[in-house]
Structure formats: structure tokens, C-alpha cells
Amino acid sequence: MINADLEMARQVLDWLQTRWKAEPEGLVSLPDIYQYCPHTAVRSREVADRVVKILVEHGWLESVSATKVNGVHRREVYRIIKEGE
């Protein structure tokens, strides 16, 4: 049986890699994930934080310094790793 958090992380990663309209650097912030991700189970900061930790541990997100993401200054920012990078 697949762990529910791992399955959710897989779905969020698919969304980030295929449909998230990030700046050219491929950045996303934690609030972007829980506010815009189409998966309703990820609509809280707590759940999004768990998913982000899984994606960081598995090498699909990389923490970067606070910066602007799509014109908004964010503290918790991640670079999306595309398949093959």
C-alpha cells in the first residue's frame, strides 16, 4: 500500500513539473503550493509542509534563499528539479 503522503507528494510534483507557471528559475514557494495546487488535500500549510519535506528528501525540490516568486517576496522558496537534471 502506498503511503498517502508519498502519493500526495507525487501528485504535487507532477503539477509542479508540468503545470506550475513559475519564473524562469523554476521557483515555487510554500504558500504557492497550498494556495494554488489543484489537489484539495494540500490546501493547508501543514500538509503542504509535509509534502515539501518529502520532495526535498527525495531530491525533487531544493531550498533556496528568500526571494521573489512570481513578483511576491517569499521566505520559504524552492527550486523545482526537472527530471534529468
Q: What pLDDT is recorded for position 13?
A: 94
pLDDT classification of 24: cutoffs 50, 70, 90: low
Average pLDDT of 49-60?
95
Q: Is residue 85 part of a domain?
A: no
How far CA 37 is from CA of 66, 71, 79, in Å, comes to: 21, 18, 16
Say how far apart CA 4 and CA 62 lie, in whole Å: 22
Q: Is residue 24 part of a domain?
A: yes
**Structural domain span for residue 44:** 4-80
pLDDT classification of 1: cutoffs 50, 70, 90: very low
Q: What's the domain count of the chain?
A: 1
Q: What's the pTM value of the predicted model, to 2 decimals?
A: 0.87
Say how far apart CA 72 and CA 38 lie, in whole Å: 20
Q: Is residue 74 part of a domain?
A: yes
Q: Is residue 11 part of a domain?
A: yes
Q: Is residue 61 part of a domain?
A: yes
Q: Are 78 and 64 in contact (CB under 8 A)?
A: yes
Closest CA to 24 of 73, 57, 68: 68
Q: Is residue 72 part of a domain?
A: yes
Assign residue 12 the CATH number of its domain: 1.10.10
Q: Are 29 and 36 in contact (CB under 8 A)?
A: no
Phi, psi of 68 (to 5 degrees): -85, 140
The pLDDT of residue 54 is above 90: yes
Say how far apart CA 15 and CA 18 lie, in whole Å: 5
Report the percentage of the chain scoring pLDDT > 70: 92
